[in-house]
A and B are shown apart, each in its own frame.
Chain A
C-alpha cells in the first residue's frame, strides 16, 4: 500500500539518502524502499525480472511513475543530466566512443584522485593512453566503474559490477567501491547474482519480484565500514 506523501516525507533525518516510493516502470512495480546514507544495499532477483530496468528507471533513463527522492528532493526538480550525475548507474556492459581511454574521462576531475582509483583496481599510470579496441571485457568493466565515479555521485547504481572479473580484481573492485562509500558518504544499490558477493559487501539485501521487493536478512559483511 502507498502512504500519502505528506506522512512519509518529513522529518528530514540524515540517515535516508535515496527514497524510492511506489516506483513503476514497464509492467513492474510498485516498489518502495529506502537507501540509507553510506549504505550498500544488495539487489538480487531472477534473470529477466527487471533489475537492470529498475536501475534505469531510478537514474531516469526510462519513463516511470512514482517518486524518487535524493536527500528529500524529488528527481523531477533536477535537470535529468544533473540527476544522472548524482544518481549514477554503471551498466553491466560498458560503451566507449573515442579511440583512447583517457578521452572518456572528464578533464575537470582531479588527476591524482583519478590515478589513485585506477591504481586501486590494478591499472598502471599509462592506462589513460591505451586504445579502447585493445581492452579486455574485464578491463572495460573496471574502467567504466571509475568513469562513473568521476562525477562523484551520491548514489551509485551498480549492475553486476564484477561479472567479468577474476577473483583478484573482484576483491580490488569491491574494496574500491566500499572505500568510495566511506569517503564520500555515498550509497550504493548493488545488483548481483552472486550471493556470496552480496553477503560480503551489502548490509541488507532485497530480492526483486514482479510486484514488489522482499527483504532478505544478510549476515554482517566482513569488510569493515566504520569511519
Chain B
C-alpha cells in the first residue's frame, strides 16, 4: 500500500480547525487565543525544520552527526523541563539535574534497544536511533518535569513539616521520604495510565502512524509494545534519579533544608 501524500491544502484544512478553536477561546475569554496560534505556528516550523534535518541525517547516517543530533535533543529537553517548573532549583545544578536524569535513562534505554533488542546494523542507524530517542526523551521529559515541579512545590509548601521532622532528629532522607515518594508516583502515573488505556481507549500515536504508513498491524503493534515498555522503564528511571539528585541538592551535609537553593516567582514575592 502506498502512502497518500498530504498536500499543503490538506494541512491548511486541519489548521483552520485550530483557528476556529482560537476564535472560540476569544469568545469564551480563555486568554489562550494567542498561545494557540503562536504554538501552532511554532510546532509547524519545528516539525518542518526537523523534516529537513532528518532527510539530511538519513542520507548521511554517520555516527558523529547522529550523536550531535542526540545531544541537541537532550539539551532542548533539559531546557523544557526547567521551563515547566514554577519553582526551580537554582543555577546550573537545576538544569543539570533534569538533563542528567534524562540522559541516564533515555540514552541507556535507547542503547539497549538498539544494540540488544532491535539489533539494527549499524546500531546508530538514524532511521531507528533518532525516532526512538525522541520518543523516549519526550516521555521522560514529561515525567521528570511533573515530578520535579511537584517536588519543589511540595518542599516549599511543606517546609514546616520537613523542618519539624528534622527538629525531631530525623535524617533528611526520613524527613523528606513522604514527599519524595509522592513525587516519584506523580512522575510515573501518566505512563502507567497510558499503558492501561493503550489499545482500548487510544491507539498510540506511533502505531497509528505506522499503520497509516502501510505497515501490517501486527508489526506495528509489536513495535508499539516495545516502545511502551521502553518508555515506561525510561520514565521510571529518569523520575527516580531526578528526585534522588534533587533531594541531595536541597539538603546540606548538616541535614538542613536549603530553600534558598530554589528560585521562582513565588519566592521573589516574599
Contacts and interface: CB of A to CB of B under 8 A. Distances in A.
Interface string A88-104: 11110111110000000
B14 interface: no
Contacts of A171: none
B127 interface: no
Interface centre among A61, A90, A96 (most CB of B within 10 A): A61
B256 interface: yes
Contacts of B166: 61, 80-81, 84
Interface string B179-208: 000000000000000000000000000000
Contact of A82 (B158, B160, B169): B169
A61 B163 contact: yes
A79 to B, nearest CB: 8
Secondary structure of the A contact surface, majority rule:
loop
A84 B167 CA distance: 6
B16 interface: no
B164 A95 contact: yes
Interface residues of A, number: 24
B120 interface: no
B178 A147 contact: no
Contacts of B261: none
A88 B256 contact: no
A151 B167 CA distance: 11
A81 B256 contact: no
B168 A62 contact: no
A60 B168 contact: no
A147 B169 CA distance: 11
A59 B169 CA distance: 10
A63 B256 contact: yes
Interface in A171-212: none
A55 to B, nearest CB: 10
Interface residues of B, number: 18
Nearest to B257: A61
A91 B169 contact: no
Contact of A88 (B160, B169, B171, B254): B169
Contacts of B163: 61, 95
Nearest to A86: B169
A59 B167 contact: yes
A148 interface: yes
Given A80-B254, A81-B255, A93-B160, A61 B178 contact: no
B161 A88 contact: no
Interface string B134-170: 0000000000000000000000001011011111111
Contacts of A90: 167
A95 B168 contact: no
A151 B169 contact: yes
A80 B255 contact: yes
Interface in A132-165: 147-148, 150-151
Contacts of B171: 81
Contacts of B167: 59, 61, 84, 88-91, 148
B173 to A, nearest CB: 10
Contacts of B170: 81
A59 B165 CA distance: 13
B177 to A, nearest CB: 11
Interface string B74-97: 000000000000000000000000
Interface of B: 158, 160-161, 163-171, 178, 252-256
13 contacts: A63-B256, A79-B255, A81-B166, A81-B171, A84-B166, A85-B169, A89-B167, A95-B163, A96-B161, A97-B161, A97-B164, A97-B178, A147-B168
Question: Would you list the 6 A-B pairs with minimal beta carbon distance, nearest first?
Answer: A85-B169, A95-B164, A80-B255, A80-B254, A95-B160, A95-B161
